[in-house]
Every structure is written in structure tokens, then in C-alpha cells.
Structure 1
Amino acid sequence: MTNSAIPAPAIPFAVPTSRWDDAHAATLSPEELLLYRSNLLGSDLTVTNFGGGNTSAKLTGTDPLTGETVDVLWVKGSGGDIGSMKLDGFSTLYQEKLLGLEAHYNGPEDDDKMVGYLPHCTFNLNGRAASIDTPLHSLLPFAHVDHVHPDAIIALAASSGGEAATKEIWGGKIGWLPWKRPGYTLGTMLRDFQRANPGVQGVMMASHGIICWADSAKECYEHTVSLIADAAKYLNAKMEGKAAFGGQVVAPNPDRAAIAADLMPRLRGFMTGSRRKLGHYSDDAEALEFVGSAKFEELAALGTSCPDHFLRTKIAPLTLDPARLQDDAYLAEKISAYRDFYAAYYERCKRSNSPAMRDPNPVVVLVPGVGRITFATDKTTARLAGEFYGNAINVMRGAEAIGDYIALDEQEAFDIEYWLLEEAKLQRMPAPKPQVGRVAFVTGGAGGIGAATAARFLKEGACVVLADRDANAVEEVRAGFAKQFGKDVVRAVTCDVTDEAQVKAGFDTAAREFGGLDVVVANAGIASSAPIEQTTVELWDRNFDVLAQGYFLTAKHAWGLLKRMKDLGGTSLVFIGSKNAVAAAAGASAYASAKAAANHLGRCLALEGAPEGIRVNIVNPDAVIKGSKIWDGDWRKERAASNKIDAGEELEAHYRNRSMLKRDVLPDDIAEAAYFLGSEASAKSTGNMINVDAGNVQAFTR
């Protein structure tokens, strides 16, 4: 840490431009034009953030009961994202019925009650729930309305100088309203303001965002974009040549990625609760500028402003001293103190009907010189929380350029976080899959058994790191899983398990990408077959390098990460062994001996791991021919020659008929056993071997 600020110009706001395509728009229906406009706005992160903002159009439709033409409000439904939504993401409501709801409104205390009337206005049995922002659109007398929360706009809305700046930028064409929580009352305030000021083209809502309107979809879109561009240009001019946040006092640490990989599992291990957390790390320019600044601690303590930001990031972040990151007692105390801080905030602000206190662990962790770490119960939520705090940093920078940054009042923040309508939304969410919040690491991840095992964990909600020495193959498998399960939950690393540096780097990736480790499946392998006289020292060493030393290195470098999760309920290490590890095999002494060594290592580690909450178990497959990369090579020919049979279907029939159950053993069968041993279903099992071989009496373990 330096003693004085390092001069560095503030990061400027991006200035959006119109991306409207007239030729494409000419092919669209009115409803499709609304979707096109919405997707254009939402897919441009200079315009709005994920899930933020809403759009609407008042269109005509045919009443399915009367056949009459009626006015229908199409408005983004609850919980959607305008950047990725489809037409079914819009709520559709009778505009006349929406306007008639005012007869039931007697003042701000009725806001929650008014939400309950929205379903009664549904047009054509549309099942998409209406958003609490619906009145903002229905009560304004314009055909097209946009409401967005871009950083440059929120910077104005969250600054003591924001109202004056709004007047300076737009000369009265954009109005200003003080903070009011979203709902029916805010809708009436907007309508009344516009009626009293018929020349305004939009309204800035303090600490919330901007709402604007136009007579056509294109005009509304381009109006929205131009307003954001105006705000960005204005703020950039104010910041030009100036250092943000009082200047930089802590420079970015060149080893920050390694520091994050070491820190995140330790933090995760202290975040006790009903569900494990997943982490997301970012060292983007915004994060490093903020955490290294002179005003970092002061501004971080204020929390965020815009409700969209706050709901994702909690009341305030946890900040850490970069000089004490190796001190576990310090980290544990900081996590504990944050939980106490959050509980005190809950007690100060709770209402008589508030929901029970939610998870008190921090979501955002900020470290000078290192960056921003976020934790949540799933990876996507953790990533989005980080992105939203990045938005909050941008807001603070802009707000400070024209005045003082103003965060949400604590009670207002609480009332949003513990809003009964928000709680009802949370209660409607489906129960998480059993492996959500857990991280699995699979070696040999591009092979048949490895890929099948990874798929089994991903199917149940786990995040997975695929490790394989074949860089192209493992990336191909990752890309396929990303399409199937989502890009957030799967990573790939190139890793030869005989190379200790690569093994360590692979686990560092798991720690940095997901925050820790819960399950390791050691599966990377080779196979060889040769009579003893033809078994070279090179062949012998190669088998032991991969199958014995490779498993040793995998276990060694996973061990510290697995131990960190002891207080969260323990972890699991699964070795993929072999029938040949327990049953003698002629002509495969190198392979069988190396597998036997790995299995015995597993039993030794079960003893060593039990006090640390690490369970170690073994799956012994046999003759997994279909879908196996090992059987695609020389091993197939060698085993066929050893058994004096054809290497094609005759070999598969040989192994199938050799089994007691006369059945093929497939990669999915091994994956099912590995999943069982890696999951909580086997929480009281360690030191065990499960044979998945369709029955082989020689491999009976007892």
C-alpha cells in the first residue's frame, strides 16, 4: 500500500448508439416489434443490466369472449430479462381494466393490495405473472414506454447533484421525482407529474432509473438510447482528467489470481449455513479501480442505491485487509462479524410481519489489490451479483463526479429486501436440485466414463471442472455440456495427471472459478496388455505414472480444498479403480498392479480423511467397452489377442458372456456408482469398493 494517491483517470462510461435495423423491423408484427425493441435494449449492457428494466406497448387485440377489439397492455412479466426473453415473457392485460383499478386505491398503504388485482386484468388467460412495475406503464398515456436502469442514469439518480444535472443536461425535458418504492403509488406519481408537465419526454426517478415514452417502437428505443448517451457524455466530461474515488492507493497485485484461488475456498468454508456457496471472482478494471481507491472503505460501507443492485448484493459488502488474507482466524472473525452485522440490521428494521431472517453471510467480498469476489447458492447468481456490484461501482464513480453518492436509506433497503411480494416470489421458486452449490472435479473428463460422470453430476445441479490431457477433446466435451446445462456450471482444464504443476493448476482453477471443491472423481487412466517378458520398464513406469502416481497427485492437491469444507458437512474423493485391482489378470501385470496400488492408496486415504470429513471410496469397473476411449486403442487389440478372439463384436460378446449377469457395462453405469459415492446418499460410507462389472466372482471383495 502506498502512502499517497496514484493519479489515474477515471474509467469512462460507455456511450450507447442505436442498433435499430429498419429492414428487419419492417418484417415484424406490432408484438414482435416490442420484443425486438426489448431484446435490443436488454442485450446492450450499456443500456441495462441483466433482468433489469421493463418495456411495454399498448396494442389492440380481439377479446376471446366478445370478439371485440380491445386495448391490451403488453409489458415485461415478473422475473424476466428483456435481453433474452421471448414473446411469452410478456404479461398481457386489459388496459381498460387496469385503468379501472384506481377505484380500489386509497393511498400508498394499498400498494401491496393493488398487486393482487393485476391477475384479474389478465388478457387471454396469459399465465405470465404481471410485474409490480405494471402501473408505471399502464397509467402513462403513451403507446410505448421504456424503463431502464443503466449505470450512467443511476449515477445521476443516486447523486446529491443529480437533480441539478438532470436539468442541465435536458433543460427540463426530463423531469425528476424523489425516491419511491416501485408500485401503484409510483405509477400515480408519474402520471400526475406528466399531466402537470405535458412537455416532458421522460422522468428520472431518484435512486431508481429513468422512464420515457414515444409513439412508435423505434422512436421509443432511440429515445431511450439517446437519453443514456446524453447522461454518459455528461458524466465523462465531468470526470475527464480526474482520478476516481480520491485516487488509487493500492495497486493491483500481479499475483491476484493466485491469491483469489487460495482465498475463496477458505472464505467458503467459513460461510456455514443450510446450503453451500459457490464463488465468482472478477478482477475487471472497475473492481480494481474501486478496491484500490482512497475512498473505498467509506463508499463500500454505504451500500448500493438502485433496488436492482441491492437485491443482488445485500445491504453492504464485506471488505478485507489484503495483508491478513493468510490468517484463518482473521477471516473467520470477519465472516462472523458480518453475520452479526446483518442480524443487527434485520433486528433494527424488521416489521411485525417481516419474513424470517435470510442467510446472513456476505454476498460481496472486496479485497484491495485483488478484486471482487461474490458468493451465492448457485454459480449464475454469484456471477450476476458480481456484475451488479460492478454496476454499483460505476454508479458511485459517476455520482461522486457531480456531488455525493447517496445510497438507499437503510429502512427502505430492508423493506425492499424483505418485501412480502418479494418473499412470495422466492417461495414460488422450485426446490433446488440436490447437487446445487457443490463443485465436482473429474479427471479423464473427456473420456467415456469421465464425461458420463460429469454429466451425472451436472444433471443434479453440480458445477463441474473437466480435466483431461487432450485439450481439444476436453474443450469439445465442455462446449457440449455448456449448451446442455449452461455455460456457468462447467469449466475445462488441460491436465496431465502425471504433471504435478498441471494438477495443482487444475485445482486452482476449480477454486477460483467456483470457490472450492466438494467431490473429486479420479478417473484418468490408460490400459496396457503384455506378457511379463514383453513388459518393458517404460510400459511398467507408464502405468504406475498414470494410475498410481496420477491418483496420488490428484488426491494430494485436492486434499487441502476438500478439508476446507469439513464444517459444511464434508467432502468425497472417488477413485475409479478396476476389476483387475482385486482380481489377478494374466498378460496385464503392469496395469493390474498399478490399479491395485491406486485402490490401496484409496483405502489408506479413507483412514487419513475421516477426521477431516473426507470420504474416500472406490468404483471397480470391468470391460467398459462401448463409449470408452481406452478400448478404442491398442488395449482392445491386446486383450483380443490375449483371449485369442476377434477384436470386434466377438470381444464385446466375450466380456458380456463372461459376466455372471451376462450384461454389458456402460460408462453411465460407472457414472451412477461414482455419483452415489460422491453424493450425500452415501454420507456414511468410506473405505468401500463397489464393483460395477455385471458380476465377476474373482472380484468379490469379501
Structure 2
Amino acid sequence: MTEKTVADLIARSNRLGADPKNTNYAGGNTSAKGVGTDPATGGDVELLWVKGSGGDLGTLTESGLAVLRLDRMRALQNVYPGVDREDEMVASFDYTLHGKGGAAPSIDTAMHGLVDAAHVDHLHPDSGIAIATAADGEELTKTIFGDKVVWVPWRRPGFQLGLDIAAIKRANPDAIGCILGGHGITAWGDTSVQSEKNSLWIIDTAAEYIAAHSRPEPFGPALDGYGALAEAERRAKAAALAPTLRGLVSTDKPQVGHFTDDPAVLDFLASAEHPRLAALGTSCPDHFLRTKVKPLLVDLPASASVEETIERLRTLHEEYRADYIAYYERNATAGSPAMRGADPLIVLVPGVGMFSYGANKQTARVAGEFYFNAISVMRGAEGLSTYAPIDEVEKFRIEYWALEEAKLQRMPKPKPLAARIALVTGAASGIGKAIATRLAAEGACVVIADLSLEKAQEAAAEIGNTDIAIGVAADVSSVKAVQFAIDAAVLAFGGLDLVVNNAGLSLSKSLLETSEADWDLQHDVMAKGSFLVSKAAARVLIDQELGGDIIYISSKNSVFAGPNNIAYSATKADQAHQVRLLAAELGEYGVKVNGINPDGVVRGSGIFASGWGANRAKTYGIDEQDLGKFYAQRTILKREVVPENVANAVFVLCTSDLSHTTGLHIPVDAGVAAAFLR
């Protein structure tokens, strides 16, 4: 019985959470009541299984459920100290847990435990929130749902809201759920199937009513000059704005970005009422916790140039920060947590789209999704009535809630490269892939650039999902291809912090065998390619004003003369001197430029696999399979160098431990005395 109850709850949760029309990411919660066994007595005990704090319905598993003894949870009503002290009740849930209790109970646990129904769903559907935020939401609820759904005036989530909904259900025995003013919906049922059916009926009925009764232009008529730019033009403008924007929104702490030019966003920004609605901010607590109370809106037409827009953004950002600080100071009390930062998390640019920001890519993407939800909510509310979100005081109480602060404090410590964005060239295999893998493991977002788009995407997929790594095609010898890769990076993650010039190839030939084409090919990829990538990246790094790192994967051959590699060694020497030149030039912008000189990296190397290894083995008179061992034996340490050794050096160079180091070449060669730099 217990196993089926839990399995049904998980399945229902996953179905509801998988469809964005039902709820947003990590939004809402579900529960089931049933009978389990008390391990202390062997007798039956009535239990409550409810989604724990911070979980996501779409991906919920049994480990994400909190498990409570229902009799003890309901007994908390007897010690409830009142709404002014209801936050204390969350800690009280610990005394009602069954066994170890599973996941931490959330603030909504009371809603699920106190309502007299075997199954309860609390969700944040756009259609339901549209009714919940309409100025005449109570009347609309009666009109749309009759006696089946009851209006609940806004109340902050907590124990008292659970008591309110429980009382409403008792007073309205025919009701299947509630519209929670300014917030969302709650539905219930005697079975898991019935609860899910009731939830979906409320969501779909609200959506159908909005579709049938909405005004033709809920956001007002089109605003002249604010329509969407052509796709290529708007994405080029977005890429040009992204670095400056990221620098501005990272004033308090570094942020990762996400960009969307979804038609719904562009339509909102092209409409006459968008300035009024944007200023009102979001309403559902889940929304503004992710997006701040309101976005930064660029008040210029789509035709404004990049330069004009950037100039205006700088002014608007100063105004936004001042306004947010004033909002905090108006509402903060002696017990309020410290202000978490005054930078916007959502930036809206008419004709271009929406930029969203967070501590990592997932958080930034989800913030954008939440504001997308908010636009949908505003469309529904304005179509039927007037959008009327909860007031500023209530928003502040949620945003700076002590329980929310406690949740933030429980989050794991950020990894060393958290919020940093890296571009690694030639990263589909060998050294480049090892570097990209290490950087991602240390918290960075990674763009894998390679000649083969397919191989780049495959390598990225091995590292993680698109919130962690993406693959792009890049012929580094082409100005256009390099700029495309840089633009892809800033549109995917908001900007750029770390560039690794790793792309390379080699033809092992003597001077007399080396053709002009051989020479040009290697110099185009490594000398010219590194120059082009560094130049395009430097523009981003300078515009961001956040500093950064450029790292060249050069070679022991840049300082050591060996036979039969004139073109390769010469171009590596070129790269080595680029490090010195750029370190001197970019230092004033806080950009560090360093190099790494590997040697004998045979395992996993694309260069060695393409014929270089066979040629070098022939030069040294050994079998190709023994080349790695041969290189190891000629080193001081007698150790073979592998791609991960180079990746380790890259990581060290871009950490805070070497924040004062630039113009350095680090040998990763197990010790080759002839290649010592001094």
C-alpha cells in the first residue's frame, strides 16, 4: 500500500511538472496521505508524503519527498503561536517527521497536511495566476468556476494559509480547489487520479475562459518603432550588447546570462502598455524570487543604435540600483537579512529580446522562463481585467523572508570557477577536450569550438547539458567564423571570461620538404588563429570590464630547436611572443595573458593521431606505440605527459591563486632542461 501511494504520487508529480502550462520549474508541490508502518511498534501509522523544499515536480523522485506523521503534524495546530510567529512552525515540522523524514519539509507542508483530502496539488499555472492577479479576481473566480473553486485572498505561504484553505474546504464541500490571490492554485481529491484531474480542470478551464473572453490586444496597440528587428539584426545587436550588459549586472557579484528572443517577449515589448506593466513587476512568489520585483526596461525604440543603447543602459542601470536600494531601505526592518545586491536579473530590450541573469546558467535560464511566465500572466489578467500584483510590502516580505535566507545559506559553496565562461578552441579531442572538461568540473560554463560542429557538440554533450557546455563550429583562421563562435558564446552564457587558444595541427617535415602551403596552413591555424581569437575575445573582455584570462597552449618547441618541424616550431614561437605582447597590452583592463608549453602529449592527441606521431617516431627511430614512453624517458622526471596535466595548468592559471600572474609560460613537459626558460 505504501509503495503504491508513493509511486502514484511521484508519477502524478512528474506528469504535472513536465508540462510548463501547469507549473514553473521547481514551483508548486504535491502530496499524498496514506498508511505506513511504525517501526517502533509495528502498528499502522498515518503518514503524509509531500514534495520537499527546493525540489522540482518534473524530476521528483522518492528521495525528494518529506515524510511526516500526520497526527503529529496536525497536532501543531494546538501550539501555533499566530501569524506573526508562523515562521517558527517550519522548525516544528522536524518533530513530526517519520523516521529520518526524507527531504526537508517546505513552508507549504501545512497546506498539504491540514487540508482534509488524501491528495493535494499546489501549482503555479499561468492561467491560474492570471485570475489570481486580476483586479477583480474574486469575481472572475466565481464567474469561471462557480462553486467548484473558491477564492482565497492573498496570504504569504505558511501555516496560516494552510489553516485558511482547510477551513475553506470544510465550508465548501463541493469545491475541488482554490485560486490563491496573487499566487496560484490548490486542488485536491480522494485519489491521486482525481486530484490530478481536478488540477488540470482548473488550469484548462481558466485558460479556455481567457482565450474566449480576452480583449483582442491585451497589451494595447503596437507601439510605433518598437517592433522586432529581423532575426539576424536582432541577434547581432544582442551579441553586441551582451558584454556591456553582463558587466553592469555583475556590479555586485559575477553573473551568468541567458538570452531569448521568443516571439511572446518581442510582442510584449512592441506593445503600448509594456512600460506600465513592466514597472508593476511580477506577483507569484516563485516569479519575483527569481526575477527581482521588476526588470530593467530599455526605454528606446528598436531602431536605436548599439552605441545609443549602451549609453542609455549605463544610465538606466544606475537608476535601477538606486531605486532597488530605496525599495530595500523602505521595507527593511531590524531583523531583515542584508541586501543581496541591487543589480537587475531581467533586462528587456525592445526589438531585441530578454536577457536574464543568475549565479549559473540554469539559474539565469530559469529566471528568463519565470519572466516569460509573468508575461503570460499579465496577458491573461489584462485581457480579462487589469493586472494587479501583490503590493511592494508583501513582495519584500517574501524576497527577504528569513526562511528564504536560510535556504540560500544552505546552498553548497560555489566551485572555484563558478560564474565564469570559457571558450576553448580545438576542444573536441585531446588537450582541448581535457581542458574543457576540467574547467566545467570546476564550475565554468564552457564553449567547445572545433572545426567539426558534430564533434564539438558530441564533446559538449559528454561534459554536460547545454547549461554547462555547448559546441560550436569554428575555423580559427577565418575572421567571420571566429566572430560567430564568440557571438555564440555571449548569446549562450552572457559573456566571456576565459579563452584558451588550443587549436593546432602539425606536419613533421624537414626544411627542404616543407612547402609554402605547409607553412601557411600551420601559421594560419596557430599564429593567425590565436591572434584572431584573442582579438575578438578582447573586445568582449574590455566591454565587460570584469578582467579575464587568455591562455595560449604553445609548446616546448617554442624555445627548443629540434629536427624536422620548422613550420610548427616557428608558429609556436609566434604564439609564445603573442603571450608577452598581449600581457603587456591588456593588463590595463585586468586581463591576464599566459601560456603553457607542453611536450610529448601523445595520448588522446589529435596532432599525433593525424600522422605527426608516426613521423616523429620515424625521426627518433622507434615504434609509434612507444612514442609516449620515449618522450617520458628523455625528461628529468621520467613521467609521461597526458592531456589532463595540461588541463591542470590551465585551471591553476585562471584561479584567484594566480591573480597577480601575467606574461608567464608554464612548462608541462615533465622536465626538459633544454627548454628551460631561464
TM-score by length of 2: 0.97
Q: Distance in 2 between matches of 1:627 and 1:113?
A: 57
2:146 to 161, 167, 171: 171
The one-character-per-residue Cα deviations of 1:274-326 (angstroms, maximum 9, x if unpaired) are: 53111100111221111111001000000011111111110110001242642
Q: Distance in 2 between matches of 1:529 and 1:514?
A: 39
The one-character-per-residue Cα deviations of 1:90-112 (angstroms, maximum 9, x if unpaired) are: 11111101111111124211311
Aligned to 2:66: 91
1:313, 1:389 within 8 Å by CA — same for their partners in 2? Answer: yes
Q: CA offset at residue 173 of structure 1?
A: 1.3
- Given the alignment of the two structures, is residue 100 of structure 1 paired with residue 75 of structure 2, yes or no? yes
Q: Distance in 1 between matches of 2:264 and 2:574?
A: 50
Q: CA offset at residue 28 of structure 1?
A: 7.0
1:609 to 560, 583, 586: 586
2:438 to 451, 456, 468: 456
Aligned to 1:663: 639
The residue matched to 1:91 in structure 2 has which SS?
Answer: strand
Q: CA offset at residue 161 of structure 1?
A: 2.9
The one-character-per-residue Cα deviations of 1:414-447 (angstroms, maximum 9, x if unpaired) are: 0000111111111111111111111011000112
The residue matched to 2:174 in structure 1 has which SS?
Answer: coil
Distance 1:530 1:504, change over 3 A: same
1:162, 1:402 within 8 Å by CA — same for their partners in 2? Answer: no
Aligned to 2:514: 535
Q: Distance in 1 between matches of 2:493 and 2:629?
A: 43
2:596, 2:666 within 8 Å by CA — same for their partners in 1? Answer: yes
- Given the alignment of the two structures, is residue 685 of structure 1 paired with residue 667 of structure 2, yes or no? no
**AA in 2 matched with 1:351:** T
Aligned to 1:441: 423
1:446, 1:477 within 8 Å by CA — same for their partners in 2? Answer: yes
Q: CA offset at residue 271 of structure 1?
A: 3.0
The residue matched to 1:80 in structure 2 has which SS?
Answer: coil
The residue matched to 1:551 in structure 2 has which SS?
Answer: helix
Aligned to 1:12: none
Aligned to 1:6: none
Alignment of 1:303-318 (within 5 A): 303-318=281-296
2:2, 2:36 within 8 Å by CA — same for their partners in 1? Answer: no
1:105, 1:114 within 8 Å by CA — same for their partners in 2? Answer: yes
2:602 to 622, 625, 628: 625
**AA in 2 matched with 1:546:** V
Q: CA offset at residue 662 of structure 1?
A: 1.1
Q: CA offset at residue 472 of structure 1?
A: 1.9
- Given the alignment of the two structures, is residue 506 of structure 1 paired with residue 485 of structure 2, yes or no? yes
Aligned to 2:472: 493
The residue matched to 1:59 in structure 2 has which SS?
Answer: strand
Q: Which deviates more, 108-117 or 55-64?
A: 108-117
Instruction: Name the % identity.
Output: 44
The one-character-per-residue Cα deviations of 1:520-569 (angstroms, maximum 9, x if unpaired) are: 00000001111111111111111111111111111111111111343x3x
Q: Which deviates more, 676-685 or 507-516?
A: 676-685
Q: Distance in 2 between matches of 1:233 and 1:331?
A: 39
- Given the alignment of the two structures, is residue 545 of structure 1 paired with residue 513 of structure 2, yes or no? no
Q: Distance in 2 between matches of 1:180 and 1:378?
A: 31
Query: When the two structures are aligned, how many residues end up with a matched partner?
Result: 670
Aligned to 2:307: 326
2:272 to 282, 291, 294: 294
1:324, 1:330 within 8 Å by CA — same for their partners in 2? Answer: no
Q: Distance in 2 between matches of 1:243 and 1:141?
A: 42
Q: Distance in 2 between matches of 1:521 and 1:317?
A: 34
1:517, 1:561 within 8 Å by CA — same for their partners in 2? Answer: yes
The residue matched to 1:304 in structure 2 has which SS?
Answer: coil
Q: CA offset at residue 182 of structure 1?
A: 0.6
Note the aligned Cα RMSD (angstroms).
Answer: 1.4
Q: CA offset at residue 126 of structure 1?
A: 1.6
2:252, 2:343 within 8 Å by CA — same for their partners in 1? Answer: no
The one-character-per-residue Cα deviations of 1:338-368 (angstroms, maximum 9, x if unpaired) are: 1111000000011221011111100000111
TM-score by length of 1: 0.94
Q: Which deviates more, 360-369 or 105-114?
A: 105-114
2:451, 2:474 within 8 Å by CA — same for their partners in 1? Answer: yes
The residue matched to 1:195 in structure 2 has which SS?
Answer: helix
2:149, 2:179 within 8 Å by CA — same for their partners in 1? Answer: yes
Aligned to 1:7: none
1:161, 1:402 within 8 Å by CA — same for their partners in 2? Answer: no
Q: Distance in 2 between matches of 1:161 and 1:274?
A: 39
The residue matched to 1:129 in structure 2 has which SS?
Answer: coil
Q: CA offset at residue 659 of structure 1?
A: 1.2
1:442, 1:520 within 8 Å by CA — same for their partners in 2? Answer: yes
**AA in 1 matched with 2:495:** G
Q: Distance in 1 between matches of 2:348 and 2:431?
A: 39
Alignment of 1:100-499 (within 5 A): 100-239=75-214, 242-249=216-223, 250-254=226-230, 255-320=233-298, 321-322=300-301, 323=304, 325-327=306-308, 328-482=310-464, 486-499=465-478
Q: Which deviates more, 109-118 or 415-424?
A: 109-118
The one-character-per-residue Cα deviations of 1:97-132 (angstroms, maximum 9, x if unpaired) are: 111111112421131122221110001222411111
Q: Distance in 1 between matches of 2:523 and 2:305?
A: 41
2:444, 2:468 within 8 Å by CA — same for their partners in 1? Answer: yes
Q: Distance in 2 between matches of 1:119 and 1:523?
A: 53
The residue matched to 1:404 in structure 2 has which SS?
Answer: coil
Q: Distance in 2 between matches of 1:668 and 1:211?
A: 52
2:252, 2:342 within 8 Å by CA — same for their partners in 1? Answer: no
Q: Distance in 1 between matches of 2:412 and 2:660?
A: 28
Extract unaligned runs of 5+ from structure 1.
1-25
**AA in 2 matched with 1:245:** F
Q: CA offset at residue 32 of structure 1?
A: 0.3
Aligned to 1:576: 553
